[in-house]
């Protein structure tokens, strides 16, 4: 009998095991505690997901503005070389594809204005282009646009060349800050 008491006494002295009202302390979580922890984790993940998705949409819009600006600069470089903007028939494809160039144009003056084709905006919609602006009174300007993520004309998310950053409607959206 002395041996069995010794064995029980040594268990009580081991770290991590305590005696509680005549029994060993339980070391597991109850179902309620586990459910509360899971609910907290789900709530936090939901908040993080909402934040990340919002930032992703903003990042896509920022990238679309950068691509818009690249197209605009390439169109201006084309004008320097040909003393005109691409025709409506040539479109913006002439900026990366010489075969789109009007056969009567100076073939030797053409160069690749964009390394990669940019046929569509960030949302998969084709970029809109018109050689002579119908949106401004200046006939020397072109029209370039994206209908934005919703793909609908005339909404606040459109990126267009005929409005300035100071317009009330947002218009030609400014580039993101450069950090300087």
Look at residue 174 in the predicted model and tell me its pLDDT: 41
Report the number of distinct structural domains present in the chain. Answer: 1
In a domain, 147, yes or no: yes
Return the CATH number at 119: 3.30.700.10
Residue 5 to residue 39: CA distance in whole angstroms? 45
In a domain, 79, yes or no: yes
pLDDT tens-digit profile of 100-139? 998 888 888 899 999 899 999 999 999 999 998 887 777 6
In a domain, 28, yes or no: no
Look at residue 85 in the predicted model and tell me its pLDDT: 93
In a domain, 151, yes or no: yes
In a domain, 44, yes or no: no
Residue 159 to residue 87: CA distance in whole angstroms? 21
In a domain, 42, yes or no: no
In a domain, 4, yes or no: no
pLDDT tens-digit profile of 75-101? 999 999 999 999 999 999 999 999 999
Domain ranges, residue 78: 64-160
């Amino acid at each position: 009998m002395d041996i069995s008491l010794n064995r029980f006494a040594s268990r009580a002295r081991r770290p991590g095991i305590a005696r509680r009202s005549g029994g060993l302390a339980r070391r597991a979580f109850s179902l309620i505690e586990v459910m509360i922890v899971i609910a907290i984790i789900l709530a936090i993940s939901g908040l993080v997901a909402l934040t990340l998705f919002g930032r992703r949409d903003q990042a896509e819009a920022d990238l679309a503005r950068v691509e818009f600006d690249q197209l605009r600069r390439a169109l201006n470089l084309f004008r320097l070389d040909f003393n005109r903007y691409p025709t409506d028939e040539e479109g913006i494809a002439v900026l990366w594809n010489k075969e789109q160039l009007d056969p009567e144009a100076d073939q030797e003056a053409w160069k690749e204005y964009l390394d990669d084709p940019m046929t569509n905006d960030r949302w998969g919609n084709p970029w809109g282009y018109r050689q002579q602006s119908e949106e401004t009174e200046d006939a020397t300007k072109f029209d370039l646009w994206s209908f934005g993520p919703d793909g609908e004309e005339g909404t606040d998310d459109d990126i267009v060349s005929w409005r300035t950053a100071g317009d009330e409607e947002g218009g030609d959206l400014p580039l993101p800050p450069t950090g300087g």
